[in-house]
Amino acid sequence: MENQNQSVRPLAFESRISLLDALRGAALLGILLMNIPFFGKSYHLHFNLDILKEYSGPNYWCWWGVNGLFEGTMRGVFSMLFGAGSFLLLDRLEKKNTGSLTPADIYYRRLIWLLVFGLINAFILLWPGDILYAYAIAGLFLYPFRKLKPVHLLAFGFLFLGFSVAQNSFKAWSELEIREKGEAAIALEKKGGRLSPTQKEDLEAWNAYRSENSIDHWQSEIEKENKIRKKGYAANFENLAGVNVYIETKDFYSEVFFDALSFFLIGMALFKWGFLSGALPSGHYLGIGFVCYLLGLPLSYYINHTAILLHFDHSKMTEVLPVSPYQARRLLLATGHISTLIILYKSNLIAFIFKWLSRVGQMAFTNYLMQTIICGFIFHGYGLGLFGELQRYQLYQITALIWIFQIVFSNVWMHYFLFGPFEWVWRSLTYWQLQPFRKGAPQKF
């Protein structure tokens, strides 16, 4: 195996694009903003203010800040960068001698091992919100698109984004249909009418839906989850195994696949256009960012404000928003965030911060898994057992501490090593031989 791969080696450290690393680092830290509520509290509480009546104080403003500006957007940025990184990897591999292994061999090996790490993250480290598995599966479909022109990549990206919008909208319409049919059956009963067997089923479905989405039911489920999460590893594994199976099967194909693939392709298009690499004039980023925020921020406010007015009743949301605006909102805000970061990067006003972030981005794989390990220890019963104990705003204090730790750790680590620890393992498995690790150490292939 060693002789077979003598001419095969990962891309040189010096060839990385520092801006992409900095953007990746910012996105990686931003993702924790969205994940920390799921790490630390029942998932019912993440978006719904009604359950605990969090309509004032720091919890309320944290909800607005996170859901208004960052919900879904940091994952969107990360997904676009994954697409750009996949193209960059394949483009460079196809321009160099890879020996007996083709660029496709290396690319698909990386994805297969990424899938394995995703399964470990979900089922061993017990994180139901894992994205590595989803990225690996969706990434399998990127290879045939690598040679397309940016405009064609963008067209396919928007096509698949449309599929995702349709999936989200159909799901919302089904909830509206349950309510409308149920309320029609109730109205008929009040008039003294006789329900048909179908109308009886409609009424039963509506009653079941109302029961499952009632405050009392959610509070009961939250209490159960709080007790389980404070138990040991075995109890948590048993509780989350079924959740992970559902998320990585039915939920993945009904909600995640087209979402991820569309942003991958959009990211590839934006990289080929020079947008993600900072090659465009600063004025272009200023204009793009302004337009994206001008459209995205009011849309985000409208979505969240409507949810509050309707008391987070999903069966009523579709009457106000018949087509799901989620993807449009996150694409606009994600692009606005990227534009803002690139403007700051090109200005050199806070170059030291981007240098710190680039180290975080170079270790994005390690830092992502590290967030699972740290939060698992903090919140699960086999660690500190703080699940359900902290208020919403306190979770973001924990987030800030984790950010500081990861920034310091990444910058110290990358001073001595070529790759993060998990990046090194991933590369070694991909090429099926140990890769160089320490800076300045002799490299043998």
- Predicted confidence at residue 100, as pLDDT, reads 80
- Predicted confidence at residue 17, as pLDDT, reads 84
| Model pLDDT for residues 363-374, shown as the tens digit of each residue | 999 999 999 999
Mean pLDDT of 242-268: 96
96 pLDDT tier (thresholds 50, 70, 90): confident
Mean pLDDT over each residue of the chain, to the nearest integer:
93
Would the pLDDT of 7 be above 80?
no
**pTM tops 0.85:** yes
Mean pLDDT of 15-19: 72
Task: Count other C-beta atoms under 10 Å from residue 106's C-beta.
Answer: 19
Mean pLDDT of 172-183: 95
16 pLDDT tier (thresholds 50, 70, 90): low
CA angle 236, 117, 112 (to 5 degrees): 140
Tell me which residue of 9, 4, 11 sits closest to 100, measured CA to CA: 4
- Predicted confidence at residue 442, as pLDDT, reads 59
Would the pLDDT of 264 be above 50?
yes
Mean pLDDT of 120-132: 97
DSSP string, 47-114: T-STTTT--SHHHHHHHHHHHHHTTTHHHHHHHHHHHHHHHHHHHHHTTS--TTS-HHHHHHHHHHHH
291 pLDDT tier (thresholds 50, 70, 90): very high
Measured in degrees and rounded to the nearest 5, phi and psi for residue 323 equal -115, 125
Mean pLDDT of 400-413: 98
Q: One-letter amino acid identity for 67?
A: N
DSSP string, 109-138: HHHHHHHHHHHIIIIIS--TT--HHHHHHH
* Percentage of the chain lying above the pLDDT 70 cut: 95
C-alpha distances in angstroms, 379 versus 41, 54, 186, 324, 414? 9, 22, 44, 33, 29
Would the pLDDT of 397 be above 80?
yes
- Predicted confidence at residue 339, as pLDDT, reads 98
